[in-house]
C-alpha cells in the first residue's frame, strides 16, 4: 500500500499502516458477562505530512478523521502501525525504547493542536497572558520575563488582537469565540511547531468569521512554515483552505482514507463514489455557505464501526458497487507517495480489475448521482 504524501527528504510526520481501535462503552451488567466490543476508528491508513503542507481531512461524523489527526501529532497511540516524527518512532521515544534520536519532549513541542472549542481548552481562571506564558516557561525556561512578554504581545498583534496589552490581561469569558480561537492559535504557534492539528477549528465560528479565520491560518502557516492537518465535516471549508494553500484534500470513510489529492482534482474529478456523493451533497462550495442534506446513497444505513462491512467498506451504500466489492478491499495505489498525485481506494480506478466483469449488487440499478443542474 502506498503512503499518501511527498518526497522522503521533507517528511515531518509519517503514518505507516496505522490502525486504532477502542473498546466500546457498555453497561455494568454486560461488562460482567461479555468482552467489550471494539470500535475500529482507523484501519490501515498510511499518510506522509511534508514540511509546510496543508492537508484537509473530510468525512462524516465518526469516520475517524479526528482520531487519525490525533495519531499524527502523537496524542493517540496506534493499536497497530507506526507514527514517526522526522524518522523517529514517536511512541518508542515516549516509552524510551531503542535508540532515541529525537527526544519525546521535542516531538511534543513540535506537534500542536487547536481544538474545536477553544473556550474549553482555556483556563477560565487565568488571564490570556498567564495562559500563554505557561508553555514558554516550560519549554524555554531560560527566556526572561521581558522577552517572553514581548514575544506574546508580538504574536497577539500578529493575529489582530490589538492593543495586545489589553487583550493579554483579559479572561476567556471576556473574549468572543473568534478571539478565543486566536488565543489558542497563538498558544500553538509559540512553540514554533512543525505540525498543527486544527480539529474543526472554524466550525463553531459564525459564518462571517470562518473565511477570516481560515485566511489567518493560511497567512501564519506560510509565515511560520508550519504544516496544518485541518479536520472538517464541511467540504466547503476543506476546499477553501486546501486550494489557497496548494495543499491536499483527504476523504475518509469508516476508518479508511478512500481518496486523496489536490482539491481541484478530488472535487472536480472524484475517483471514489463516496467523494462524488459528498461533492454533490454540497450545495455550494463557498465556505460561507452551509452544507445541505445527506448525500444520495444506495442505503440509508451507515455501517457499524464495531462490525464494518467486508471488502470495500462503502459497498453497502455505494451506487456503483459490484459483487467483488463485498469481498475484496481496495487500497490506495503505490503512486500515492508522489507529490500532487490524485489517487483513490476504488476498484474502478483499475481498468483491468475483476470489478468490471463482476455483477452489480442488488439495488444499484437506477441509483445515479444527480446532475449538476439538479
Q: Is the pLDDT of residue 226 over 70?
A: yes
Q: Which pLDDT belongs to residue 116?
A: 78
Q: What is the mean pLDDT of residues 126-132?
A: 94
- Cα distances (angstroms) measured from residue 127 to each of 132, 157, 165, 180: 9, 17, 11, 12
Q: What is the mean pLDDT of residues 6-21?
A: 84
Alpha-carbon gap, residue 227 to 72, rounded angstroms? 12
Per-residue pLDDT tens over the stretch 280-328: 766 555 555 544 444 445 555 567 777 889 999 999 989 899 999 999 9
Q: Is the pLDDT of residue 369 over 50?
A: no
Q: What is the mean pLDDT of residues 259-283?
A: 87
Per-residue pLDDT tens over the stretch 15-74: 999 999 988 765 565 555 666 678 889 999 999 999 999 999 998 888 899 999 999 999
pLDDT-derived band at 338 (thresholds 50, 70, 90) equals low
Alpha-carbon gap, residue 321 to 126, rounded angstroms? 55
Q: Which pLDDT belongs to residue 280?
A: 75
Q: What is the mean pLDDT of residues 355-373?
A: 67
Cell readout for 80 is 497497530
Instruction: Identify the CA nearest to 67 among candidates 190, 197, 196.
Output: 197
For the chain, the residue count is: 374
pLDDT-derived band at 178 (thresholds 50, 70, 90) equals confident
Q: Which pLDDT belongs to residue 285?
A: 57
* SS3 letters across the chain: CCCECCCHHHEEEEEEEEEEEEECCCCHHHHHHCCCCEEEEEEEEEEEEECCCEEEEECCCCCCHHHHHHHHCCCCCCCEEEEEECCEEHHHHHHCCCCCCCCHHHHHHHEEEECCCHHHHCCCCCCHHHHHHHHHHHHCCCCCHHHHHHHHHHHHHHCCCCCHHHHHCCCHHHCCHHHHHHHHHHHHHCCCCCEEEEECCCCCCCHHHHHHHHHHHHHHHHHHCCEEEEEECCHHHHHHHHHHCCCEEEEEECCEEEEEECHHHHHHCCCCHHHHHHHHHCCCCCCCCCCCCCCCCCCCCCCCCCCCCCCCCCCCCCCCCEHHHHCCCCCCCHHHHCCCCCEECCHHHCCCCHHHHCCECCCCCCCCCCCCCC
Q: What is the mean pLDDT of residues 118-140?
A: 89
Which domains, from first to last, does the chain contain? 8-24+37-111+199-206+225-357 (3.40.50.300)
Amino acid at each position: 500500500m502506498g503512503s499518501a504524501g511527498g518526497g522522503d527528504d521533507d517528511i515531518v510526520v509519517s503514518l505507516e499502516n496505522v490502525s486504532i481501535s477502542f473498546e466500546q462503552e457498555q453497561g455494568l451488567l454486560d461488562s460482567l458477562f461479555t468482552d467489550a466490543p471494539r470500535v475500529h476508528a482507523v484501519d490501515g491508513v498510511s499518510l506522509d505530512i511534508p514540511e509546510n503542507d496543508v492537508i484537509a481531512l473530510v468525512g462524516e461524523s465518526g469516520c475517524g478523521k479526528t482520531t487519525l489527526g490525533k495519531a499524527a501529532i502523537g496524542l493517540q497511540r496506534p493499536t497497530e502501525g507506526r507514527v514517526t516524527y522526522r524518522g523517529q518512532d514517536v511512541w518508542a521515544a515516549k516509552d524510551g525504547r531503542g535508540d532515541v534520536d529525537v527526544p519525546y519532549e521535542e516531538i511534543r513541542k513540535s506537534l500542536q493542536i487547536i481544538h474545536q472549542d477553544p473556550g474549553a481548552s482555556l483556563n477560565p481562571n487565568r488571564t490570556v497572558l498567564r495562559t500563554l506564558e505557561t508553555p514558554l516557561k516550560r519549554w524555554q525556561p531560560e527566556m526572561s520575563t521581558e522577552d517572553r512578554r514581548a514575544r506574546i504581545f508580538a504574536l497577539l498583534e500578529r493575529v489582530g488582537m490589538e492593543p495586545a496589552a489589553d487583550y493579554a490581561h483579559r479572561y476567556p469569558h471576556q473574549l468572543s469565540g473568534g478571539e478565543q480561537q486566536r488565543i489558542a492559535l497563538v498558544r500553538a504557534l509559540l512553540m514554533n511547531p512543525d505540525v498543527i492539528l486544527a480539529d474543526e477549528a472554524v466550525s463553531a465560528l459564525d459564518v462571517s468569521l470562518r473565511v477570516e479565520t481560515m485566511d489567518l491560518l493560511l497567512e501564519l502557516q506560510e509565515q511560520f512554515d508550519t504544516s496544518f492537518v485541518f479536520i472538517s465535516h464541511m467540504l466547503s471549508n476543506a476546499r477553501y483552505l486546501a486550494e489557497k494553500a496548494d495543499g491536499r484534500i483527504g476523504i475518509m470513510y469508516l476508518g479508511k482514507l478512500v481518496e486523496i489529492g489536490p482539491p481541484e482534482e478530488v472535487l472536480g474529478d472524484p475517483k471514489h463514489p463516496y467523494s462524488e456523493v459528498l461533492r454533490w451533497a454540497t450545495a455550494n462550495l463557498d465556505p460561507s455557505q452551509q452544507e445541505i442534506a445527506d448525500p444520495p446513497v444506495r442505503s440509508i444505513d451507515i455501517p457499524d464501526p464495531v462490525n464494518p462491512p467486508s471488502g470495500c467498506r462503502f459497498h453497502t451504500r455505494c451506487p456503483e458497487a459490484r459483487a467483488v466489492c463485498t469481498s475484496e478491499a481496495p487500497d490506495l495505489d503505490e503512486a500515492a507517495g508522489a507529490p500532487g498525485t490524485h489517487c483513490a481506494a476504488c476498484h474502478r480506478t483499475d481498468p483491468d480489475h475483476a470489478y468490471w466483469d463482476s455483477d452489480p449488487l442488488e439495488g444499484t440499478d437506477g441509483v445515479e448521482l444527480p446532475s449538476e443542474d439538479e
